[in-house]
Copies of this chain bind each other. A is one copy, B any other.
Amino acid sequence: MRSAFHEELDSIGMTLLQMAGLVKIAMVEATTALLASDLTMAEKVIAADSVIDDIQHELDARTINLMARQQPVASDLRTLVTSLRMSADLERMGDLAHHVAKQARMRYPNSAVPAELVPIITSMGMVSDKLIEKLTVVMEHRDTVRALEIETDDDEMDKLHRDLIEALLADDWTHGIETAIDMTLLGRYYERFADHVVSISRRVYFLVTGEYSSN
């Protein structure tokens, strides 16, 4: 029989998964809003960010409360501290989806993304989604094999980011400075989103193995 303490730990884990699910939806919808110049969807993502923020506040309060009431032993304490860090990463990922959606809204009814960059941004959106999908499995099953895979999956995002900057610098770039600024920021948002996936994945890996998966 699980103790009440471990039931609460499980419940914290479930809420983290719920946050990851909302962040996943937010980034998919933000990318759609961006590529389809869909103002309604952009507004939806922007509004939904406060839901993620609220869940984080409530979750962190619950986690700290559990720390205060119980005297968790080393590994349980480590799990709780890691939960606080994971919720901070997920909250920040929600912010980044929110930034992407705001970019879509700012340029509406125009598209923020020139036609020839649609494939790269589409791929960045797909890689983001693949990463957080895998992260959800890592979090739910403490899957260290997939945690290690995420390290290399992230290389795809880095490559797309380099491709994006290269496209901005190509001689045939005709979209001017404003679009270049937009695309630089968008590239950064997707890249940071992936960085946070890697960060959470490393935290899970460390929790399970007691070792760092890299540096």
What mask results when residues 65 to 78 of chain A are scored 1 for a CB within 8 Å of chain B, else 0?
A: 00110011110011
Among A119-127, A131-139, A173-181, the one that faces the other chain is: A173-181
Copies of this protein chain in the complex: 2
For A, the interface residue count at a CB cutoff of 8 angstroms equals: 24
Main secondary structure of the interface of A (DSSP, over half): helix
Within 8 Å of chain B (Cβ to Cβ): is A85?
yes
Given the interface pairs A165-B181, A184-B184, the reply to whether A74 lies near B84 with Cβ below 8 Å is no
Assembly CA distance A81 to B81 (angstroms): 8
- Bound-state CA distance A84–B85 (Å) is 9
Nearest B residue (CB) for A77: B68
Q: Which residues of A77-104 have CB atoms within 8 Å of chain B's CB atoms? A: 77-78, 81, 84-85, 88
Measured CB to CB, the closest approach of chain B to A93, in angstroms, equals 15
Is A6 at the interface (CB under 8 A from chain B)? no
How far is the CB of A90 from the nearest CB of chain B, in Å?
A: 14
Known: A84-B84, A173-B177. 16 other contacts (CB 8 A): A64-B77, A64-B81, A67-B77, A67-B81, A68-B73, A68-B74, A68-B77, A81-B84, A88-B88, A169-B177, A169-B181, A177-B177, A180-B181, A180-B184, A184-B185, A185-B188
Q: Which 3 A-B pairs have the closest CB atoms?
A: A184-B184, A181-B184, A177-B180
